[in-house]
Structure 1
């Protein structure tokens, strides 16, 4: 009976909003109200009445982390191990960089926060001082306290991966490199030939200096899965955008994981398809969850609670109000997002019960 009454009330709300003058329908705020009311009606129509205390995972959690210092990395970020870099694996990686035609070469990755880990050095002279770049031709961010020996590792934060370079004789920098994706990891190989003779093209062997780059995984980060408010076909897969977020040393860092929607969708002022380098009609990482590398970037503003990070579609901020239909959900970063067109309750059967009982975590 409650479900029927609520559906009736929502129908009245939607009808009232639509009965406004034609001018008012183009008012962004009122148009947004109509869209949200329609979404609320569709959600309740599918899942039933929502528990008054259901906060969708956003209840009172902290996202703060701090101290990007080598002695404290493990306290706030997952530090990659080098144990898997066996001689056999390194030899395989070297061979792939010697002949990239046999490897999965990717154009680039886009990360502000990541680790650089030494893998292999081909005993070339005058390849010194590795650097990363926010922009291809921008100021180098030199990787200090890092050498060409096993186990050497450095955490780069508020940095960039647009290019990688080394310093040659006379202090000149050379950035001829490629990135290979191999067994779930990303490796950068640098070519020494461009140092030998700038007028000679690279010889295609990028094994002269190899490092692994690992995207930062913040321990206190939380995952947001969101819907773009499209209600046709009963689609509630909550994968129209998926991202992890944490506040570190006064900055909020976002790791964009997937974009299953086909409308312009923004995190703060960042359009998610543009961040992935695809058109707005292209779905990313919802059919193949590793099709494209995640994107790591820093927001302009600091958010002490990730609930406050504005996620916007068609000028409507996706809601997460207690006891109302959610435009976004919050969960641990271990939660895997749904496949395309897979409703959330199919992957997480507790979701239906959680709608009706706010004390149930839908992801468990």
Structure 2
């Protein structure tokens, strides 16, 4: 932790805490953004993965205009979103009288039970929980899109595809994919521990700044202890990926328009479907035996619940722009106990200009397939990258079906990471 601007410039790690039993407060003290960011937190125990735990929102509008007042509490709001020129102790604000004092909103962490079962939380946070913070920038779509968050731990950012950039902008050629982006820094000053967040790409890390006060100890390492293997593990499942084209013969043949995983344990009467990517613009519904696999089985919604099409009716690309991102929630689909992928029954219905098209596993002789069945660890091409560019041996398989190991030799910079 750092006591000067020079030392703060050396920060490379993020920030998380371990609760000690009691209240934890987050007074808002500064902001330099015009964006309506949300701020939240995740709590978890040793052995749990924070990315899989519920994400709680503390602040739905992170603009300083909505959180800082001067002259008196709720007296006069800031006239400009980024206006905050005075901060200090009450008796030491040089050249300013008491009317220049600033007042910020105060937030407290709430605990909703070890299993998140409580409808009403308590501010008396038990000891022994880790807490990591995050912001959800204004322009990232659905709240449920966890792949769009900026976490206070770089390791979590790395895992969702927010990599450390060696140069300005978002050019993935400048990304160090072994490191997560630093979107939060912490330092101490005058007895307070500060936490500053970045909501964009200018990396000034001052878009939302608050104190973290109360009963906690800062964690000393940027590592997440993931759960150990179950001592009584589930039977091993077989897994596959179905990769589909949505535009038929006029498509780009990147086979990432609809991508979802299927896992199955022999003898069971259900499979688990995991939505992975939506690299097409058109509404595309996953069906099993002619019926949608969920109430809203459109692939974009399954990958990122709440995402909506634009005014032109087209959806955004999800998990195909360089990063595989975060998969959607798994869905159990009822099947027979004799299920096999040879006759799996999954189809895709694509809507376009009032017409619908059904994509199936089969294809006519001499025509390109629109759906490929691949091993569960297969990685799909990046957006607009033809599959034979990402997997050159694909052409050999087209000529001879016995050349069926083409998927094992990708061109690394042409597949998602």
TM-score relative to the length of structure 2: 0.41
Instruction: Point out the structure with the larger helix share.
Output: 1
TM-score relative to the length of structure 1: 0.46
The higher relative CO (CA closer than 8 Å, separation ≥ 6) is in 1
